[in-house]
Amino acid sequence: MAESLLSESPEPITQSSRSGAEPGAAAGKVLVVGLGNPGIEYQFTPHNAGFLAIDRIAGERGAVVGNRRCRALTATVKIAGRDVVLAKPETFMNLSGVAVQALVREHEVDPKRDLIVLYDEIAFSLGTVRVKERGSSGGHNGVKSISGALGTEEWLRIRIGIAPELPAAADSARRQRKHYVLAPFRKAQLAVLDGALDAAARAVEMILAQGVGAAMNEFNKRENGPV
């Protein structure tokens, strides 16, 4: 395990003519984006699970996500033999698509094939990790911004559960979503999240090494609840 957590509207981008492929199917560059809000006050909040996952992936490879490109902090690493650009948008959550669109163009990646986005998902319990090929925003402003900027919902995502485990607490968190996602995690929650970040990092590596189908079979297990 890596170091513990405890110690104006953009125009849609045109889809590439390459279709039907998935990350891991070609030798080109891959863009892996984690969503969150910049600023120390947001660092360990549920809404920053995507940022924390990117830092975990980078840290495992001795990299620091600190280069400023396309309104994002970035680093380039190797995963499963692929050149991977790790990115954390600095545009705040509801404008994530501005940075993602610019990164997609800068690195000439096909969003459907070579983009993976990691973000928090309040529909799932803390510690849960899910892989999904496409879909609506589900009320997540960062996801909505990215789909709007790219002009498509056809991009791969890894969702990191953030809801409390107890049903009553989870219901309360979902009712008060805006407050919950921006409130700092408790110490006990960070311990659970730590394992989820390791899992999210493994999911990225599995997608690139074996394909999205293998990752979905591994992480979207029935005992962990609905996909």
Strand 129-132 with 156-163, pairing = antiparallel
d(CA 213, CA 199): 16
Q: Is the dihedral of CA 65, 45, 91, 171 positive or negative?
A: positive
Q: Is the dihedral of CA 170, 159, 127, 35 positive or negative?
A: negative
Which residue is associated with the tokens 């709007």?
Answer: 148
Tokens representing 8 are: 């104006």
Helix, strand, coil percentages (3-state) for the chain, rounded to 5, are: 40, 20, 35
47 classed as catalytic: yes
For residue 161, what are the β-bridge partners?
A: 121
Q: CA-based angle 225:146:89, to the nearest 5?
A: 100
- Contact in structure between 73 and 50 (CB atoms under 8 Å): no
- Contact in structure between 134 and 153 (CB atoms under 8 Å): yes
Annotated active-site residue in 47, 107, 140, 179: 47
Q: What is the DSSP-derived secondary structure letter of residue 48?
A: G
Query: Which residues form the catalytic set?
Result: 47
